[in-house]
């Protein structure tokens, strides 16, 4: 169905919006510099694929198991890294994502490695409209997540997270158990990233290790930084501006000579890199943010 | 027994480019206080400069090393002057600096891919003579690399501890205001340090490229290990970087002999995360 | 008397230099006590050891509260001590840059019960519960923008003190609370502390350089220099003491 191509793209965009919003919660609210987004995303993705296809576990149970797996591993990782300072957390999560990507390639018996793992069907089968229905599902999930983030902003728990980000020491001096809360929140949000990974698997149907490269993490980061890391709608705006422009508008509507077509993803990454640089230097709080220097 | 000696020798060979890169990286980390992920691209650029001279311009490999390293140094200084120094002046925090450096890294890496394509390049070297040591053949190139590394480590040690510039760098790193009050020009010292670091990265890239293939991601694939080596060895501590690199090299070599190289990376990265947890990341000198 | 602190053989060194070396001291036998001494005496460091912001190299710090078992401080974390009612106001200005004055106080007043990741609809209830208390403080003290952020250094210092007060501590350590505060605010703070020490179950230990304030407010004073608590006594005794005069007020005499 011609229309389902658009909805395929839109579904991926919705998943990325949700991912960027989760990163907003981790980085923009709590100050956890998670550069391993694709690690949790990939755990959920491949976990789901392996449980479903290799182990023949029923669909929704496999989905739940994938989320649980991601949760457990992020809990363990959190135990180790959440006492470290920001630069170290960045590097540790990056290392984690690399480990996951390597494991997927190397454990060929389980994941089928570079040959690829398939095929993961949609959760709801609706004949020709399956893609459209799927889009509605992920759209709802993304919307719920944004609403949660908005509500969190004006809630006691949200203020607790903000206090941890602004000054963890001061927060502790008021009796807040900062490590425990960071760990819990990190686990929950990372498990949610795993859920999104599983949904992504259900959208692309065929899994390859290349999906777990650093490009995904980088795309989410640049989207969030551009949109505004401390803003609830930062992820949404950022994804629309980056993925929306490149993966959708440019790829669909700009006529590129076929010889040059493979240059587009390369140019895209170059532009992302350059933009990240410029935004951090000149408007670090992003499009939605203020110019006041209250960021840490 | 042969597994251990094989691992040790191969490990030393593997470590040679790592030591070079780690030494350069640690100097920038020490001086500026942040993890410069874009340093990975100094390594990659060094390799590609050498490709230009050696494979495209048909310059002898050993001769090509020199301009390649120098150009990497220059490129490193350019990133400092165009990107990092302005960023510092704008008050960008260290956390944001490292994110910024990731952006720069992606930009340069994909620019290289745009120019050269994703193809793998190889150097034009005459079939090198090899020497047998304890049952392993070591080529003259590898020997050159090891000797060069040894010379550089000693030279760097002298530089940091025995020369004026080295002293200035340490002074600047420890207390910038005091250093400036004593007449040290921070920009000049920084340019020198970034140049040296770029040269080291470039050299590392050349030798790494000659041991395997040259592709746009060679720097990026090494950067996490380099960061780990720097942290384990101590920031600013060249001797520590040397020891940690040797250890890393031996582990990779050993694991490669047993299974596939990827497991080597996995193990090192797991060790990395554990090391981060238990090691206080503080300036050593 | 609500809370007491007992330090025995407590030592702390930085880079080989001994900063705190306290043999046997008890704080809290009187409602309001003072701690004075020259800069570098180790007062703030000792306070940080007590609240577990820092870890002592050796020795035992015991925190005693009416109705509770004695607690040895060392194995605990700073947040645990605060939860047990042992709170310190900050000497240097510390603030949550992103939170407004009210939000800061709401944060302080919120408990584990309120702060759960799945409870995102309970803000109204928390505000209702705490409205009276917060408004009392905003009424008693002047803030230029009470619905917004603390604007000056003085306001941030004041907010820091109020944040600690709403925690309803059993033992409050005040580290140079008046530094940075305008005089009329200082008077108000001290009057409030006097009242609280009398009416509520709270012991106070104030570190101050403003000696008039100390003589005025405190029933008992400790003098600290070179890491040691050298002299202890009533304000009259301390004022008359030669060593105190030499080591601390001596500069004025010459």
Q: Residues C137, C206: one domain?
A: no
Q: Residues C50, C139: one domain?
A: no
Q: How does B244-276 read in b/e, with b if 16+ C-beta sit within 10 Å?
A: bbbbbbbbbbbbbeeeebbbbbbbbbebbbebb
Q: Residues C57, C24: one domain?
A: yes
Mean pLDDT confidence for A34-44? 96
Distance CA C107, CA B175 (A): 37
Flag whether residue B110 sits within 8 Å of chain A, measured between CB atoms. yes
Q: For residue C179, is it within any domain?
A: yes
Distance CA A99, CA B111 (A): 26
Quote the pLDDT of residue C110: 93
Q: Which residue has 């597994």 as its token pair?
A: B3
Contact yes or no for A127/A3 (Cβ under 8 A): no
Mean pLDDT confidence for B239-265? 78
The larger pLDDT score, comparing residue B186 to residue A45, is at A45
Q: Determine the distance in angstroms separating the CA of C22 from the nearest CA of chain A, rounded to an integer.
A: 23
Chain A segment 146-175 residues within 8 A of B by beta carbon are: none
> CA-nearest residue of chain A to C100?
A159
Mean pLDDT confidence for A200-219? 92
Domain boundaries defined on chain B? 2-119+137-278
Q: How would residue B280 be classed by pLDDT, with cut points 50, 70 and 90?
A: low
Flag whether residue B4 sits within 8 Å of chain A, measured between CB atoms. no
The larger pLDDT score, comparing residue B231 to residue C176, is at C176
* φ, ψ at C26 (rounded to 5°): -120, 125
Q: Which domain holds residue C111?
A: 98-149
Q: How does A46-81 read in b/e, with b if 16+ C-beta sit within 10 Å?
A: bbbbbbbbeeebeeeebbbbbbebbbebbbebbeeb
Quote the pLDDT of residue B127: 66
Mean pLDDT confidence for B196-222? 88
**In the complex, which subunits touch A with 3 or more CB pairs below 8 angstroms?**
B, C
Mean pLDDT confidence for A63-80? 96
Please indicate whether, in this complex, the C-beta atoms of A277 and B274 are within 8 angstroms of each other. no
Q: Residues C91, C103: one domain?
A: no
Quote the pLDDT of residue A291: 56
Q: How would residue B212 be classed by pLDDT, with cut points 50, 70 and 90?
A: confident
CA distances, A171 to each of A174, C32, C96, C108 (Å)? 5, 26, 9, 9
Q: How would residue A16 be classed by pLDDT, with cut points 50, 70 and 90?
A: very high
Top mean-pLDDT range of A260-269, B68-77, B181-190, C9-18? B68-77
- Which of these, A116, A110, A125, lies nearest to A55 by C-alpha position? A110
The larger pLDDT score, comparing residue B111 to residue B56, is at B111
CA atoms lying within 13 Å on the CB side of residue C1:
16
Q: Residues C173, C89: one domain?
A: yes
- Kindly list the residues from chain C whose CB atom is less than 8 angstroms away from the CB atom of residue A165: 98
Residue C207 has pLDDT above 90, yes or no: yes
Q: Determine the distance in angstroms separating the CA of A122 from the nearest CA of chain B, rounded to an integer.
A: 33
Distance CA B137, CA B117 (A): 33
Please indicate whether, in this complex, the C-beta atoms of C96 and A170 are within 8 angstroms of each other. yes
Mean pLDDT of chain B: 82
Residue C148: which residues within 8 A CB-CB, separation 6 or more? C100, C101
Q: For residue C128, is it within any domain?
A: yes
Q: Residues C145, C226: one domain?
A: no
Q: Residues C190, C107: one domain?
A: no
Of C149, C181, C216, the one marking the end of a domain is: C149
Domain count, chain C: 2
Domain boundaries defined on chain A? 2-212
Q: For residue C158, is it within any domain?
A: no
Distance CA A293, CA B34 (A): 20
Q: How does B142-153 read in b/e, with b if 16+ C-beta sit within 10 Å?
A: bbbbbebbeebb
Q: How many CB pairs under 8 A join A and B?
A: 123
State how beta strands C171-175 and C86-89 pair: parallel
ipTM: 0.90
**To 10 degrees, the CA torsion angle through C167, C171, C175, C181?**
50
Q: How is residue A242 annotated by DSSP? A: I
Distance CA C82, CA B7 (A): 54
Residues in chain A: 296
Q: Residues C173, C80: one domain?
A: yes
* φ, ψ at C64 (rounded to 5°): -120, 135
Of C149, C176, C191, the one marking the end of a domain is: C149
Identify the three-state secondary structure at position A294: coil
Per-residue model confidence as pLDDT tens digits over B118-159: 777 777 776 666 777 666 677 777 777 788 888 887 888 788
Mean pLDDT confidence for C160-184? 91
Q: Residues C221, C137: one domain?
A: no
Question: What is the secondary structure of A134-162 as a DSSP string?
Answer: HHHHHHHHHHHHHHHHHHHHTSHHHHHHH
- Kindly list the residues from chain B whose CB atom is less than 8 angstroms away from the CB atom of residue A100: none
Q: How would residue A175 be classed by pLDDT, with cut points 50, 70 and 90?
A: very high
Please indicate whether, in this complex, the C-beta atoms of C123 and A152 are within 8 angstroms of each other. no
What's chain B look like in SS3? Answer: CHHHHHHHHHHHHHHHHHHHHHHHHHHHHHHHCCCCCCHHHHHHHHHHHHHHHHHHCCCCHHHHHHHHHHHHHHHHHHHHHHHHHHHHHCCCCHHHHHHHHHHHHHHHHHHHHHHHCCCCECCCCCCCCEEEECCEEEEHHHHHHHHHHHHHHHHHHHHHHHCHHHHHHHHHHHCHHHHHHCCCCHHHHHHHHHHHHHHHHHHHHHHHHHHCCECCCHHHHHHHHHHHHHHHHCECCHHHHHHHHHHHHHHHHHHHHHCCHHHHHHHHHHHHHHHHHHCCCCECC
Question: What is the secondary structure of A101-141 as a DSSP string?
Answer: HHHHHH-HHHH-GGG-B--PPPSS--GGGHHHHHHHHHHHH
Q: Residues C210, C123: one domain?
A: no
Q: Residues C78, C103: one domain?
A: no
Q: How would residue B274 be classed by pLDDT, with cut points 50, 70 and 90?
A: confident
Q: How would residue A286 be classed by pLDDT, with cut points 50, 70 and 90?
A: confident
Q: Residues C9, C69: one domain?
A: yes
Q: How would residue C26 be classed by pLDDT, with cut points 50, 70 and 90?
A: very high
Helix axes B238-258 and B261-278, enclosed angle (nearest 10): 140
- Which of these, B197, B186, B231, lies nearest to B88 by C-alpha position? B186
Quote the pLDDT of residue A294: 43
Q: Match domain B2-119+137-278 to its CATH number in 3.60.21, 3.40.50, 1.10.3470, 1.20.81.
A: 1.10.3470
């Amino acid at each position: 169905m011609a229309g389902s191509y658009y909805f395929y793209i839109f579904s991926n965009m919705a998943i990325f919006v949700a991912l960027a919003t989760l990163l907003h919660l981790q980085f923009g609210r709590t100050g956890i510099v998670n550069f391993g987004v694709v690690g949790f995303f990939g755990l959920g993705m491949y976990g789901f694929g392996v449980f479903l296809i290799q182990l023949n576990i029923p669909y929704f149970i496999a989905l739940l198991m994938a989320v649980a797996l991601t949760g457990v591993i992020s809990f363990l990782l959190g135990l180790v890294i959440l006492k470290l300072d920001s630069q170290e957390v960045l590097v540790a999560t990056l290392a984690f994502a690399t480990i996951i990507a390597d494991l997927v390639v190397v454990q060929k018996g389980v994941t089928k490695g570079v040959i690829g793992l398939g095929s993961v069907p949609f959760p709801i089968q609706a004949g020709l409209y399956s893609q459209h229905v799927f889009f509605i599902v992920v759209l709802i999930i993304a919307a719920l997540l944004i609403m949660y983030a908005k509500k969190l902003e004006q809630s006691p728990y949200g203020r607790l997270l903000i206090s941890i980000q602004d000054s963890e020491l001061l927060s502790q001096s008021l009796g807040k158990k900062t490590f425990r809360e960071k760990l819990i929140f990190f686990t929950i949000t990372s498990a949610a990233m795993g859920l999104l990974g599983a949904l992504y698997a259900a959208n692309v149907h065929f899994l390859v290790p290349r999906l777990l490269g650093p490009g995904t993490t980088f795309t989410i980061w640049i989207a969030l930084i551009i949109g505004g890391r401390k803003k609830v709608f930062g992820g949404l705006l950022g994804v629309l501006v980056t993925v929306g422009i490149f993966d959708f508008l440019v790829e669909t509507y700009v006529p590129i000579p076929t010889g040059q077509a493979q240059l587009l993803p390369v140019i895209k990454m170059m532009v992302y890199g350059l933009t990240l640089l410029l935004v951090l230097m000149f408007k670090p709080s992003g499009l939605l943010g203020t110019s006041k220097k209250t960021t840490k | 027994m042969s597994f251990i000696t094989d691992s040790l020798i191969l490990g030393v060979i593997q470590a040679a480019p790592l030591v070079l890169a780690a030494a350069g990286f640690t100097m920038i980390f020490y001086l500026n206080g942040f993890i410069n992920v874009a340093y990975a691209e100094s390594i990659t650029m060094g390799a590609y400069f050498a490709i230009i001279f050696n494979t495209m311009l048909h310059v002898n490999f050993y001769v090509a090393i020199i301009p390649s390293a120098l150009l990497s140094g220059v490129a490193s200084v350019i990133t400092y002057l165009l990107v990092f120094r302005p960023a510092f002046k704008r008050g960008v925090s260290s956390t944001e600096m490292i994110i910024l450096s990731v952006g720069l890294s992606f930009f340069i890496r994909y620019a290289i891919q745009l120019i050269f394509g994703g193809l793998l390049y190889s150097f034009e070297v005459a079939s090198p003579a090899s020497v047998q040591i304890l049952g392993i053949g070591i080529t003259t190139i590898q020997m050159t690399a090891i000797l060069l590394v040894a010379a550089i480590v000693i030279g760097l040690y002298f530089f940091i501890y025995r020369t004026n510039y080295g002293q200035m760098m340490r002074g600047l790193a420890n207390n910038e205001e005091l250093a400036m009050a004593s007449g040290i020009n921070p920009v000049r010292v920084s340019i020198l340090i970034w140049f040296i670091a770029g040269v080291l990265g470039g050299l590392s890239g050349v030798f790494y490229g000659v041991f395997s293939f040259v592709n746009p991601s060679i720097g990026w694939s090494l950067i996490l290990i380099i960061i780990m080596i720097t942290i384990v060895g101590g920031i600013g501590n060249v001797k520590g970087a040397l020891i940690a690199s040797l250890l890393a090299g031996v582990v990779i070599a050993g694991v490669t002999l047993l299974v596939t190289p990827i497991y080597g990376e996995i193990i090192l990265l797991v060790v990395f995360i554990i090391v981060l947890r238990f090691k206080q990341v503080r300036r050593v000198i | 008397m609500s809370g007491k602190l007992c330090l025995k053989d407590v030592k702390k060194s930085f880079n080989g230099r001994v900063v705190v070396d306290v043999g046997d001291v008890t704080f809290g036998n009187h409602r309001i006590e003072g701690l004075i001494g020259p800069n570098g005496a180790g007062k703030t460091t000792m306070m940080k050891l007590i609240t577990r912001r820092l870890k002592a190299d050796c020795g035992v710090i015991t925190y005693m509260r009416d109705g509770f078992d004695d607690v040895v401080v060392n194995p605990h974390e700073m947040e645990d001590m605060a939860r047990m009612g042992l709170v310190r106001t900050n000497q240097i200005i510390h603030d949550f840059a992103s939170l407004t004055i009210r939000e800061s106080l709401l944060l302080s007043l919120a408990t584990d019960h309120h702060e759960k990741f799945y409870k995102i609809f309970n803000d109204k209830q928390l505000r209702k519960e705490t409205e009276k208390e917060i408004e009392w403080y905003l009424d008693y003290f002047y803030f230029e923008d009470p619905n917004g952020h603390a604007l000056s250094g003085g306001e941030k210092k004041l907010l820091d003190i109020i944040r600690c007060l709403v925690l309803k501590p059993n033992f409050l350590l005040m580290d140079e609370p008046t530094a940075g505060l305008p005089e009329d605010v200082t008077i108000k703070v001290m009057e409030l502390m006097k009242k609280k020490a009398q009416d509520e179950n709270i012991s106070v230990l104030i570190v101050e350089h403003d000696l008039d304030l100390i003589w005025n407010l405190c029933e008992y004073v400790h003098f600290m220099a070179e890491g040691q608590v050298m002299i202890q006594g009533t304000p009259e005794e301390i004022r008359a003491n030669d060593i105190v005069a030499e080591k601390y007020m001596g500069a004025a005499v010459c």
